[in-house]
Amino acid sequence: MPPVPNATAAQRALLAELGEGPVVVDADVVDAYRADRATPVVPGTPAALVRARTTADVQATLRVASRLRVPVVPRGLGTGLSGGSSAIDGCIVLSTEHLRAIEIDPAAMVAVVGPGLRNVEVKEAAAAHGLWYPPDPSSFEICSIGGNLATNAGGLCCVKYGVTTDYVLGLEVVLADGTAVRLGGRTIKDVAGYDLKRLFVGSEGTLGIITEGTLRLRPAPPPASTVVATFGDVVAAGRAVTRIVAAMRPAALELMDRAALAAVERLRPMGLDTDTASLLLARTDGAADEADAVVAACEAEGADYVACTDDVDE
């Protein structure tokens, strides 16, 4: 794309506004922030990188960008696979990695978090109080809460517990002109006015930059049981899924066909049966008889093999 006319002016304005601490123009450093993990995407070259330390830093950055008409690409920890953090030529990359404040309110069962925290850090902080933050994207150990909010991330347990937006009580967001707004609050019953926070969750930074999230926590779940079943054809596995969800709501339910199993085994060999037509993986964390119901559903649809365990290591 053609160069952004005001890129150099944006560099000068950002340095004047924020200084050399959060603002980086060194090409070698900026280069590491050009892209996420979306390999097919070819990123552009940013004019500057801003590693925001406060909401005020984000506000100042967006005011400069808005005044000079310079595009901004928000970035969390750069673990995404969809190219959402890929820079364009002459843009400002705005990183929220240093916004890492966290507060756990056990009585209200709420976490107030900065977007730079990793999902796993929020889970661990909640667990220290006997609480649980359910959304579990497959990259939960490395992805940021800000990225989860921006993409409305889900995970295996969404079948029972929902996705990120189901746990957002409130947000602090900086709009394109640098205005900071608070949406929602710290209570579940917050029905005054429009529910604008749901508009921002999943908007991938196109409407504003999330600088704080207020998240609903749950009591820690009981120990889970895991059921693994293999089937001679995918249709039978699908019928088993129908039986399971008609009777109960599993904590997780994943169906893989032969091609998916082979791909997983190539990436991380673990002795999967790549000759089977399909594999069904279910996890239950409710009443003890839920796992038995899953086993019965699989057997009723002619599963070749069914196993159940509550051993975490297994």
Q: Note whether 23 and 115 are same-domain residues.
A: no
Half-sphere exposure of 15 (CA within 13 A, CB side): 12
Q: Note whether 215 and 123 are same-domain residues.
A: yes
Q: Note whether 264 and 202 are same-domain residues.
A: no
Q: Note whether 75 and 116 are same-domain residues.
A: no
Cα–Cα distance, 3 to 5 (Å, whole number): 6
Residue where a domain terminates, one of 177, 192, 219: 219
Q: Note whether 30 and 89 are same-domain residues.
A: yes
Is the pLDDT reported for residue 188 higher than 90? no
Pairing relation of β-strands 92-95 and 48-51?
parallel
Cα–Cα distance, 289 to 280 (Å, whole number): 18
Q: Note whether 69 and 147 are same-domain residues.
A: no
Task: Kindly state the average pLDDT of the residues 155-161.
Answer: 92
Q: Does a structural domain hold residue 48?
A: yes
Half-sphere exposure of 244 (CA within 13 A, CB side): 30
Q: Does a structural domain hold residue 314?
A: no
**202 phi-psi bin (left φ>0, alpha ψ -120 to 50, beta other):** left
Is the pLDDT reported for residue 230 higher than 90? yes
What 3-state DSSP class applies to 213?
strand
Residue where a domain terminates, one of 48, 75, 95: 95
Enclosing H/E stretch for 17: helix 7-18
What number of other Cβ atoms are within 10 A of residue 99's Cβ? 27
Indicate which CATH number applies to the domain containing 194.
3.30.465.10
Q: Does a structural domain hold residue 2?
A: no
Instruction: Report the length, in residues, of the chain.
Output: 314
Indicate which CATH number applies to the domain containing 242.
3.30.70.3450
Q: Note whether 235 and 270 are same-domain residues.
A: yes
Cα–Cα distance, 145 to 119 (Å, whole number): 5
Q: Identify any residues that bridge with 72 across adjacent strands, giving them in sequence order.
A: 92
Task: Kindly state the average pLDDT of the residues 280-291.
Answer: 91
Number of domains in the chain: 3
pLDDT in tens, 52-73: 999 999 999 999 999 999 999 9
Domain span at residue 197 reads: 102-219
Is the pLDDT reported for residue 2 higher than 60? no
Q: Note whether 210 and 232 are same-domain residues.
A: no
pLDDT in tens, 105-142: 999 999 999 999 999 999 999 999 999 999 999 999 99
Cα–Cα distance, 225 to 13 (Å, whole number): 57
Backbone angles phi, psi at 38, to 5 degrees: -80, 95
Q: Does a structural domain hold residue 1?
A: no
Q: Note whether 172 and 270 are same-domain residues.
A: no
Q: Which residue has the tokens 């808005």?
A: 66
Q: Note whether 85 and 41 are same-domain residues.
A: yes
Q: Note whether 137 and 239 are same-domain residues.
A: no
Indicate which CATH number applies to the domain containing 15.
3.30.43.10
Q: Note whether 91 and 199 are same-domain residues.
A: no
Residue where a domain terminates, one of 95, 128, 161: 95
